[in-house]
Amino acid sequence: MRSHEQRVYFFFFFLSSVPFVLSLNSTQKEIMEKLSRSGSVWGDARERNPCAWKGVSCNSDNSSITNLSLSGRSLSDSSFLPLVCEILSLEALDLSDNSFSSVPERFITACGKIDGLKQLNFSKNRLVGSLPAFNGFVGLQSLDFSSNMLSGTIVSQLGSLNDLKRLYLTSNNLSGDVPINLGNPKVLEHLMLSKNSFTGSIPDGLLEYRKLVRIDLSENQLSGHLPGKIGDLSELEELILSSNNLSGEIPMNLSNIQNLSRFAANQNKFTGNIPVGISRSLKNLDLSYNKLGGPIPTDLLTQSNLQTVDLSYNLLEGSIAAKISPNMVRLRLGSNSLDGTIPSELGTLPKLTYLELENNSLSGSIPSELGSCWSLALLNLGMNNLTGSLPLELASLSSLQVLKLQSNKLVGEIPDEISQMQNLSTLNISGNSLSGSIPSSISRWQSLTNLNLQGNRLSGSIPATIDSLTNLLELQLGSNQLNGDIPRMPVSLQIALNLSHNLFRGTIPETLSRLQGLEVLDLSNNKFSGEIPISLTQIGSLTQLLLANNQLSGVIPKFGSYVTINATGNPGLVNTTSQSNSPQRSPGKRKSVAVAVVVAASVAAAFLGIGVAVVIVVSIPRRFYRVANSFHRSNINFTKAMEAIASAHQTLLKTRFSTNYKVVMLFGRSYFIKK
Ligand SMILES: *[C@@H]1O[C@H](CO)[C@@H](O)[C@H](O)[C@H]1NC(C)=O
Ligand SMILES: *[C@@H]1O[C@H](CO)[C@@H](O)[C@H](O)[C@H]1NC(C)=O
Ligand SMILES: *[C@@H]1O[C@H](CO)[C@@H](O)[C@H](O)[C@H]1NC(C)=O
Ligand SMILES: *[C@@H]1O[C@H](CO)[C@@H](O)[C@H](O)[C@H]1NC(C)=O
Ligand SMILES: *[C@@H]1O[C@H](CO)[C@@H](O)[C@H](O)[C@H]1NC(C)=O
Ligand SMILES: *[C@@H]1O[C@H](CO)[C@@H](O)[C@H](O)[C@H]1NC(C)=O
Ligand SMILES: *[C@@H]1O[C@H](CO)[C@@H](O)[C@H](O)[C@H]1NC(C)=O
Ligand SMILES: *[C@@H]1O[C@H](CO)[C@@H](O)[C@H](O)[C@H]1NC(C)=O
Ligand SMILES: *[C@@H]1O[C@H](CO)[C@@H](O)[C@H](O)[C@H]1NC(C)=O
Ligand SMILES: *[C@@H]1O[C@H](CO)[C@@H](O)[C@H](O)[C@H]1NC(C)=O
Ligand SMILES: *[C@@H]1O[C@H](CO)[C@@H](O)[C@H](O)[C@H]1NC(C)=O
Ligand SMILES: *[C@@H]1O[C@H](CO)[C@@H](O)[C@H](O)[C@H]1NC(C)=O
C-alpha cells in the first residue's frame, strides 16, 4: 500500500521537511503531504500553503480544501485517486484531460462517501469499459465523462444520484437505450449524450425529467418518433436530435415550450408538414436533410427571435413569405421545391449574412433590394428559374465573398459595377444567357479565387487585366463566343483554365507555360492552329491537356506519362507516340499527396453556437509536394467548407469521433473536410 502511494506522490510538492504552519485541517495537511512527498510537478515548491497551489482551492478561512484540479497533467496511473477522496471537504474534483484508462473501484467507494462532492470531471481521458456505478455521491450535481471510450449500456449506474443536474457523456461508445434512470426526475437539467451508439426510440421515461433545459441526443442511431409529450418539458431551451434515424412528424406540441431557443433535428427522416408555431421562441432552427413537405408555415420565418434557419434538402413547396425576422443571420432554403419570387423584403434584413435559396423553382428577377443587405457574405441563388438581368445594386454588397447565380435564365451584360465587390472570392454565373463582353474592371476582384462564366453568350476578347487577379485558382470561360488573343493568365491558376467551346483562333500562346501550378488546360473546340508549343510540356502540374477539335498541326510534343492528352479532331496533328509505344502510367498509380489546411471557421462557428475547427484535406494526384504547398497557401474560403459541412449527402464516412465530408470539384478533384 505504502509503495503504491509513493508511486503517485510525484504529482505534488516535496514538502515533508517543512511542516504546514497554516490553519489547514491537520488531516488534510497530512493527505496533501502524502500526495506531495516524492515529486514536484505540481506548482511552486517554495509555497508551503497547499491552498496556494495551482489547482487547489480552499474555503474562506483556508481550513479545508474544496476544489482540486489535476486537469491536463498527462497523468495515466489512476491508482493514487482513492487518496484524494480522503479530503472529505472536497466539493469539486477535476481530473479531465489526462490519460487515465480506468477509475479505481476504491475511488468510487471512497469519494462516494463525500456528501459535499458536487462536481466530478473525468472528461477527455481514455477510460474504457462500462460507466462505473455511482453509489453514494448524494450531493453530486455535475458528472462529466465525455470524450472517453466508454462502452456498454447505462442501466442503473446513475440511478441513485438524486441531486444530479448535469450529465455529460458526449463522445463515447455507449450503446443500448437512452438511459431513463438518472436520479431524481425533478432535478436533471442538462443531458448531453451525443456522439454515442444509443439505439431505440426516445423513451417516454425521459420526458418525466421536467426540469430538463438542454437535451443533446445527436449523432446516435435513434429511431422512431419524437413524442408529442416533449411539449411538457416546459423549461427546455435546447433540443438537439441531429444525425439520427428519427421519423414521423415534428410534434406540434414543441410550440408549447415557452423558452425553446434552439431546435435541431437535421439529418433524420422526419416527414409531414412543419407544424405552425414551432419557431415562436426559437433563435436557431435546423430541419435540413429530412423529408418534410408542404409549405413553409407562414409564421415560421417571421418570429423576431430567429437568427438562423436551415430547411434545405427537404420537399417543401410554395413560396417564401415576405416577412422575415429582422434578426436573421443565416437563411438556408436550398434544394426544396419552392416557387414564386424572391421576396424583395429580404433586402431589409440588416444582419443577413448567408442567404441560400439554390436548387428550387424560384422565378422572377433578382430583387435589386438585395443590394441593401450590407452584411451579406454568401448569396446562392443558383439552379432556379430566375430571369432578368444582374441588378447593378448588387455592386454595393461590399462584404460579399461568394456569389452563385448559376443555372438560371439571366440575360443582359455583366455590369462594370459588380467589380466593386472587393471581397468576392467566388463568382459563379455560369449557365445563363449573359451577353456582351467580360468587363476589364474585373481586375479589381483582388480576392477572387474561382471565376466561372461558362455557358453564356459572352463575346469579345478576354480582358488583358485578367493577369492582375493574383489569387485566381480556377477560370472557367467555356461555351461562350469569346475570341481574340489569349492574354497572359495569372500564374496562381491551379484548378483549371477552361477556354473550350469558344471562337479562339491563332496559335496557342507560349505564355501558358508560365502556369506552373495548372492541372487542367482545356482549349478544345476552338479554332487554334499551328503547332502545340513544346513549352507546354514544362507545366509541372499538368494532368489533363484537352485540345480536341481545333486546327492544330505538327507533332504532339512528348509530355510526361501522367498527362492525359485529348487531341482528337485535329487532322493535321501527327501522333509520334503511336509508334514509340511508350508506357502510359495508369491514373491509379499516381502518387497522391494529402495536405491539411486548417481553417478557423470562427465566424461560422459563432452562428452555429459551437466551436468548430474545420480541417480541409486536399487529396489531389500530385507529383510535387511543392505544388501541394502552394495550395496550402492559397485562399480556401471557410464558406466553401461550411457549405460542405451542411451537406449530408456529402458525408462519406461517419465514425465515432468525426465525420468526413467530400466536396467533389470539377474534374474529379475532391476536398475532404473533417469536422
Ligand atoms: C479535519 O476535518 C475532518 C472532517 O472534514 C474531521 O473529521 C477531522 O477531525 C478534522 N481534523 C482535525 C485535526 O481537526
Ligand atoms: C488562503 O490561502 C490563499 C493562498 O495562499 C491566500 O491567498 C489567502 O490569503 C488565504 N486566506 C486566508 C483567510 O488565510
Ligand atoms: C469550486 O467548485 C464549486 C462547485 O462545487 C464551484 O462553484 C467553484 O466555482 C469552484 N471554485 C473554483 C475556484 O474552481
Ligand atoms: C470538464 O473539463 C473539461 C476540460 O477541462 C471542460 O471543458 C468541461 O467544461 C468540464 N466539465 C464541466 C461540467 O465543467
Ligand atoms: C463501439 O461499440 C460497438 C459495440 O457496441 C463495437 O462494435 C464498436 O467497435 C465500438 N467502436 C469503437 C470505436 O470502439
Ligand atoms: C399537446 O399539448 C396539449 C396542450 O397544449 C395537450 O392537451 C396534449 O395532450 C399534448 N399532446 C401530447 C401528445 O402530449
Ligand atoms: C422563460 O425564461 C424567462 C426569462 O429567462 C423566465 O423568467 C421564465 O421563467 C422562463 N419560463 C419557463 C417556463 O421556464
Ligand atoms: C432507419 O430507420 C429505417 C426505418 O425508418 C430502417 O429501415 C433502417 O434500418 C434504420 N437505419 C438505421 C441505421 O438504424
Ligand atoms: C437539388 O435538390 C434535389 C431535391 O430537391 C436533390 O435531390 C438534389 O441533390 C439537389 N441538387 C444539388 C446539386 O444540390
Ligand atoms: C421555369 O419557368 C418556365 C416558364 O417560364 C416553366 O415552363 C419551367 O417549368 C420552369 N422551370 C422550373 C425548373 O421551375
Ligand atoms: C476527346 O474530346 C472529344 C471532344 O471534346 C470528346 O468527344 C471525346 O470523347 C474525347 N475523347 C476521350 C478519349 O476522352
Ligand atoms: C497517340 O497514340 C497512342 C498509341 O496509339 C495513344 O495511346 C495515345 O493516346 C495517342 N495520343 C494522342 C494525343 O492522341
Residue 336 alpha carbon, nearest atom of ligand 9: 5
Angle, alpha carbons 307-308-310 (nearest 5°):
155
How does residue 640 score in pLDDT terms, banded at 50, 70 and 90? very low
Contact residues for 20 (Cβ-Cβ < 8 A; gap 6+): 26, 29, 32, 33, 48, 49, 50
Greatest distance between any 2 Cα atoms in the chain: 99
Side chain identity, residue 165: K
Q: Pseudo-torsion of CA 39, 45, 49, 55, nearest 10°?
A: -70
* DSSP single-letter state for residue 254: G
Residue 232 alpha carbon, nearest atom of ligand 6: 14
Q: What is the pLDDT of residue 666?
A: 32
| The three three-digit cell numbers of residue 111, written as one number | 469519494
Among 24, 26, 27, 115, name the best residue to mutate to test ligand 1's pocket (greatest count of ligand atoms within 8 A of Cβ): 27
Count of Cβ atoms closer than 10 Å to residue 568 Cβ:
12
C-alpha span between 159 and 157 (Å, rounded): 6
CA of 65 to the centre of ligand 2 (A): 12
End-to-end CA distance of the chain: 46
C-alpha span between 483 and 459 (Å, rounded): 7
How does residue 80 score in pLDDT terms, banded at 50, 70 and 90? confident
Among 128, 197, 219, name the best residue to mutate to test ligand 5's pocket (greatest count of ligand atoms within 8 A of Cβ): 197
C-alpha span between 610 and 425 (Å, rounded): 25
Tell me what the mean pLDDT of segment 208-214 comes to: 96
Q: What is the pLDDT of residue 635?
A: 31
Res. 639: pLDDT tops 90: no
Range of the structural domain that residue 605 is part of? 594-674
CA of 291 to the centre of ligand 6 (A): 24
The upper half-sphere exposure of residue 244, i.e. CA atoms within 13 Å in the direction of its Cβ, equals: 31
123 within ligand 4 shell (Cβ under 6 A): yes
C-alpha span between 470 and 517 (Å, rounded): 13
Q: What is the pLDDT of residue 2?
A: 42
Q: Which residues pair with 387 in a beta bridge?
A: 365
Q: What is the pLDDT of residue 580?
A: 42
Using CA of residue 91, residue 95, residue 97, residue 101, what is the dihedral sign? negative
Number of domains in the chain: 1
Q: What is the pLDDT of residue 599?
A: 30
**H helix intervals, 444-598:** 577-580
CA of 77 to the centre of ligand 3 (A): 25
Among 500, 568, 573, 667, name the best residue to mutate to test ligand 11's pocket (greatest count of ligand atoms within 8 A of Cβ): 568
Res. 204: pLDDT tops 60: yes
199 within ligand 8 shell (Cβ under 6 A): no
The pLDDT tens digits of the residues spanning 267-300 come to: 999 999 999 999 999 999 999 999 999 999 999 9
Has residue 618 been placed in a domain? yes
For β-strands 572-574 and 564-566, DSSP reports them as: unpaired
Nearest bound ligand to the CA of residue 552: 12
| The three three-digit cell numbers of residue 223, written as one number | 429511431
Q: Which residue lies with its CA nearest to atom 7 of ligand 12?
A: 578
The pLDDT tens digits of the residues spanning 502-552 come to: 999 999 999 999 999 999 999 999 999 999 999 999 999 999 999 999 999
CA of 188 to the centre of ligand 5 (A): 28
Q: Which residue lies with its CA nearest to atom 10 of ligand 3?
A: 67
Q: Which residue lies with its CA nearest to atom 2 of ligand 2?
A: 51
C-alpha span between 269 and 196 (Å, rounded): 19
How does residue 577 score in pLDDT terms, banded at 50, 70 and 90? low
How does residue 471 score in pLDDT terms, banded at 50, 70 and 90? very high
Count of Cβ atoms closer than 10 Å to residue 535 Cβ:
15
Residue 566 alpha carbon, nearest atom of ligand 11: 1
Answer yes or no: are the C-beta atoms of 332 and 356 closer than 8 Å.
yes
88 within ligand 1 shell (Cβ under 6 A): yes
Category of 58 on φ-ψ map: left (φ > 0), alpha (ψ -120 to 50) or beta: beta
pLDDT top residue among 270 and 62 = 270
Tell me what the mean pLDDT of segment 617-621 comes to: 37
| The three three-digit cell numbers of residue 101, written as one number | 484508462
| The three three-digit cell numbers of residue 394, written as one number | 448588387
C-alpha span between 173 and 221 (Å, rounded): 12
Q: What is the pLDDT of residue 598?
A: 29
33 within ligand 4 shell (Cβ under 6 A): no
Whose CA is closest to 423, among 484, 374, 459? 374
Do you know the residue count of the chain?
A: 675
Which residues form the pocket of ligand 12, taking CB atoms under 6 Å from any ligand atom?
556, 565, 567, 575, 577-578
| The three three-digit cell numbers of residue 439, written as one number | 468587363
Lowest mean pLDDT among 33-47, 96-110, 169-183, 298-312: 33-47
Q: Global pTM?
A: 0.83
175 within ligand 5 shell (Cβ under 6 A): yes
Q: What is the pLDDT of residue 42?
A: 56
How far CA 434 is from CA of 166, 415, 485, 628, in Å, comes to 58, 10, 21, 35
Q: Which residue lies with its CA nearest to atom 12 of ligand 7?
A: 235
For β-strands 564-566 and 269-271, DSSP reports them as: unpaired
Res. 47: pLDDT tops 70: no
Q: Which residues pair with 440 in a beta bridge?
A: none
Count of Cβ atoms closer than 10 Å to residue 7 Cβ:
12
385 within ligand 10 shell (Cβ under 6 A): yes
| The three three-digit cell numbers of residue 570, written as one number | 485535329
- E strand or H helix at 632: helix 625-633
C-alpha span between 607 and 586 (Å, rounded): 45
The pLDDT tens digits of the residues spanning 316-359 come to: 999 999 999 999 999 999 999 999 999 999 999 999 999 999 99
Among 259, 262, 280, 305, name the best residue to mutate to test ligand 7's pocket (greatest count of ligand atoms within 8 A of Cβ): 259
C-alpha span between 148 and 141 (Å, rounded): 20
Q: Which residue lies with its CA nearest to atom 1 of ligand 11?
A: 566
Has residue 75 been placed in a domain? no
The pLDDT tens digits of the residues spanning 153-187 come to: 999 999 999 999 999 999 999 999 999 999 888 89
456-463's contacts with Cβ under 8 Å and 24+ in sequence apart are: 456/429, 456/430, 456/431, 456/432, 456/480, 457/433, 457/481, 458/414, 458/434, 458/482, 459/435, 459/483, 460/436, 460/484, 461/437, 461/485, 461/487, 462/438, 462/486, 462/487, 463/437, 463/438, 463/439, 463/487
Mean pLDDT for all residues in the chain: 84
Instruction: Look up cell 416533449; give the residue.
Output: 230
Has residue 657 been placed in a domain? yes
Q: Which residue lies with its CA nearest to atom 3 of ligand 5?
A: 173
Using CA of residue 497, residue 498, residue 503, residue 506, what is the dihedral sign? positive
Answer yes or no: are the C-beta atoms of 339 and 315 closer than 8 Å.
no
Answer yes or no: are the C-beta atoms of 273 and 299 closer than 8 Å.
no
C-alpha span between 182 and 164 (Å, rounded): 8
3-state secondary structure 463-486: CHHHHHCCCCCEEECCCCEECCCC
Lowest mean pLDDT among 181-185, 214-218, 232-236: 181-185
Side chain identity, residue 138: V
| The three three-digit cell numbers of residue 384, written as one number | 432556379
Has residue 662 been placed in a domain? yes
Has residue 613 been placed in a domain? yes
How does residue 37 score in pLDDT terms, banded at 50, 70 and 90? low
51 within ligand 2 shell (Cβ under 6 A): yes
148 within ligand 6 shell (Cβ under 6 A): no
540 within ligand 6 shell (Cβ under 6 A): no
101 within ligand 3 shell (Cβ under 6 A): no
Q: Which residue lies with its CA nearest to atom 5 of ligand 12?
A: 578
Has residue 638 been placed in a domain? yes
SS3 330: strand
C-alpha span between 21 and 36 (Å, rounded): 16
Answer yes or no: are the C-beta atoms of 113 and 135 closer than 8 Å.
no
C-alpha span between 42 and 528 (Å, rounded): 74
C-alpha span between 595 and 593 (Å, rounded): 6
Has residue 624 been placed in a domain? yes
Among 25, 32, 114, 117, name the best residue to mutate to test ligand 1's pocket (greatest count of ligand atoms within 8 A of Cβ): 25
Has residue 665 been placed in a domain? yes
Q: Which residue lies with its CA nearest to atom 9 of ligand 7?
A: 235
CA of 574 to the centre of ligand 12 (A): 10
Which residues form the pocket of ligand 7, taking CB atoms under 6 Å from any ligand atom?
234-235, 258-259
Q: What is the pLDDT of residue 537?
A: 94
Nearest bound ligand to the CA of residue 60: 2
